[in-house]
Chain A
Amino acid sequence: EVRLVESGGGLEQPGGSLRLSCEASGFTFLSYAMSWVRQAPGKGLEWVSTIRGTGDTTNYADSVKGRFTISRDNSKNTLYLQMNSLRAEDTAIYFCAKFGGYGGFDSWGQGSLVTVAS
């Protein structure tokens, strides 16, 4: 059974930093691209970033480019999102998601709440 468990969320001040983690199990982690998707309170889904299985290719939404960094440690089956220069508009539930072998994001974590406020 595929399992994705996020951690690292919390309350941070504007301009601060947080690092989210997503521990994966139940599949061959290095074989799959992984993504972060966020959802602001009461809003829709927003794709944030994707990293390929080998970690050599990354993509970012314009809204986070230059502030967020996605990475992975395939030896630990863990995905990360380093979030710097946080803004109020970054407040959201952050989901990690596995890119399915046939397409789409076929498995999701339960989400980690990030609140940016003073």
Chain B
Amino acid sequence: DIVLTQSPGTLSLSPGERATLSCRASQRVNSNYLAWYQQKVGQAPRLLIYGASSRASGIPDRFSGSGSGTDFTLTISRLEPEDFAVYYCQQYAGSPYTFGQGTKLEIK
């Protein structure tokens, strides 16, 4: 099974700053089948990025994904107040379709 490790566990930043979230896989993620999700309290997750770097429909261009193989990054170029949430990465290259443990992005 592919284990995804996200870092940091919590990231404290201010609106307008740049956020960089990391997701490291225990083995290569084939075809870069790596997704990123945003989840706010009391809500379902929302798909942000698929295929490691493609933005999902309706996602603002301040969100970008990069990486390949075992190391992936979600970058939020300029934080808006609504971006403070928990972010998860997930691999869907093969079952089990594991999630990372999440990174909480909080207001500093």
**Which of A's residues lie within 8 Å of B, judged by CB?**
35, 37, 44-47, 50, 59, 61-62, 95, 99-100, 102-111
Residues of A within 8 A of B54 (CB): 102-103
Residues of A within 8 A of B100 (CB): 44
**Which of B's residues lie within 8 Å of A, judged by CB?**
33, 35, 37, 39, 44-47, 49-51, 54, 56-57, 86, 88, 90, 92, 95-102
Which of A50, A62, A100 has the most C-beta atoms of chain B within 10 angstroms of its own C-beta? A100
A63 to B102, CA, bound (A): 20
The residue that A106 contacts in the complex, of B39, B56, B99, with Cβ under 8 A, is B56
Closest to A96 in B: B44
The residue that A109 contacts in the complex, of B35, B44, B86, B95, with Cβ under 8 A, is B44
The residue that A47 contacts in the complex, of B46, B50, B98, with Cβ under 8 A, is B98
Residues of A within 8 A of B45 (CB): 37, 45, 95, 105, 108
Q: Is the CB of B35 within 8 A of A45?
A: no
Given contacts A104-B90, A104-B92, contact A44 B102 (CB under 8 A): yes
The residue that A46 contacts in the complex, of B57, B95, B99, with Cβ under 8 A, is B99
